[in-house]
């Protein structure tokens, strides 16, 4: 496989289609919820990413076909007083899993983070996603612990869309 990683250009129709293809593939997967992206989300996704000044989207292409994505956002570590890079979504289309696409995207994200002076990479992963957890652990990710032996959990609170 001839793999190429690039930073997504939201104005490039080929990149926009690639973003939608790979994110939708992830959404359809059982770990992504098992349902395709709704039409309104598909319509808003790329313009919404374009509006985020802290977004970094990396696309993996194999032989000119989009096969993987890392959707990242720059944040800030108050404990280090430096930028960080959160890998919000990392996805590889099913037929290309196990071929090094995920690790290549992780390396590219780390390179961007180092160039930006970030103190760390962060990500979230479901406890039962053992395949992804193994990839992340091989890459050097570990449970986040602050001041105790207990790992920190990532929590979420959905907000009513009408209130937004």
Give the tens place of pLDDT for each residue, 19-73. 999 999 999 999 899 999 999 999 999 999 999 999 999 999 999 999 999 999 9
Confidence bin at 160 (pLDDT 50/70/90):
confident
Q: Which of 3-17, 69-83, 104-118, 137-151 has the lowest mean pLDDT?
A: 137-151
Q: What is the tally of structural domains in the chain? A: 1
34: domain range? 3-163
CATH number, position 138? 3.40.630.30
**For the residues of the chain, what is the DSSP string, one character each?**
--EEEEE--TT-HHHHHHHHHHHHHHHHSGGGTSSPPPHHHHHHHHHHHHT-TTEEEEEEEETTEEEEEEEEEEEEETTTTEEEEEEEEEEE-GGGTTTTHHHHHHHHHHHHHHHTT-S-EEE---TT-HHHHHHHHHHT----BSSSSSBPPP------GGG-
pLDDT at 162: 54
């Amino acid at each position: 496989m001839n793999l190429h990683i690039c930073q997504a250009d939201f104005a490039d129709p080929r990149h926009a289609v690639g973003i939608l293809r790979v994110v939708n593939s992830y959404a359809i997967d059982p770990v992504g919820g098992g349902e395709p992206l709704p039409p309104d989300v598909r319509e808003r996704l790329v313009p919404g990413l374009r509006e985020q000044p802290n977004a970094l989207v990396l696309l993996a292409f194999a032989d000119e076909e989009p096969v993987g994505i890392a959707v990242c956002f720059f944040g800030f570590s108050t404990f280090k007083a430096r930028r960080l890079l959160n890998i919000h979504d990392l996805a590889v289309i099913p037929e290309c899993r196990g071929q090094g696409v995920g690790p290549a995207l992780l390396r590219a994200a780390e390179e961007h983070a180092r160039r930006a002076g970030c103190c760390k990479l962060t990500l979230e992963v479901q406890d039962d996603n053992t395949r992804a957890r193994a990839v992340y652990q091989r890459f050097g990710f570990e449970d986040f612990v602050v001041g105790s032996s207990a790992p920190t959990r990532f929590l979420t609170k959905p907000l009513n869309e009408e209130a937004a």
